């Protein structure tokens, strides 16, 4: 039987807002789409079973509900500690929406937990879903895949 790399696929269909500007908060996932060789500790924390380099890919649906020139940061953390040189930063102006694909390659030890955090300078910043319509399915607020590299 071929070796199957650890993999975790997650989505969230809720709106998650910046609760306290300037303070990091964990991004939550309400659906585990696929899991192999991970332990789901909570909706925000996922334990790695095998040490190694993991590719973390995610696509947030970013929205600034009102205001202009606000900054949103999203980055991975291991055991609650932000991974160095991993931040993805957006400066959003004039109630704009963004969808961006983000990639990080992170070494994670067995037994450590991976999280995604967001931090913004305004409570009008959010990741939000887009309703289904016209034959197009709902767009989750964030999609994330974490997979060990061979």
Exposure b/e, 46-78, CB count within 10 A at least 16 = b: bbbeeeeebebebbbbbbbeeeeebebbbbbbb
Return the structure tokens found at 121: 């300078």
Average pLDDT, the chain: 92
pLDDT recorded at residue 33: 96
C-alpha of 84 from chain center: 16
Distance, CA of 140 to CA of 127 (rounded, Å): 9
pLDDT exceeds 80 at position 53: yes
Domains, the chain, with CATH or none: 7-148 (2.60.120.40)
**pTM for the model:** 0.91
pLDDT recorded at residue 3: 59
| 61-115 confidence digits (pLDDT tens) | 998 888 778 899 999 999 999 999 999 998 887 767 777 789 999 999 999 999 9
Higher-confidence position of 92 and 13: 13
Return the bridge partners of 136, or none.
133
pLDDT recorded at residue 2: 54
CB 108 within 8 A of CB 72: no
Transcribe 100-118 into DSSP letters.
--EEEEEEE-TT-EEEEEE
């Amino acid at each position: 039987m071929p070796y199957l790399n650890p993999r975790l696929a997650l989505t969230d269909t809720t709106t998650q807002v910046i609760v306290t500007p300037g303070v990091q908060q964990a991004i939550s996932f309400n659906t585990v789409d696929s899991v192999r060789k991970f332990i789901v500790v909570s909706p925000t924390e996922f334990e790695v079973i095998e040490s190694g380099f993991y590719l973390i890919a995610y696509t947030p649906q970013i929205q600034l509900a009102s205001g202009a020139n606000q900054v949103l940061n999203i980055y991975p953390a291991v055991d609650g500690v932000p991974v160095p040189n991993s931040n993805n930063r957006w400066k959003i102006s004039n109630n704009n929406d963004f969808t961006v694909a983000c990639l990080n390659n992170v070494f994670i030890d067995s037994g450590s937990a991976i999280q995604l955090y967001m931090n913004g300078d305004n409570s009008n910043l959010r990741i939000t879903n887009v309703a289904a319509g016209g034959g197009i399915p709902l767009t989750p607020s964030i999609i994330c895949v974490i997979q060990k590299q061979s």
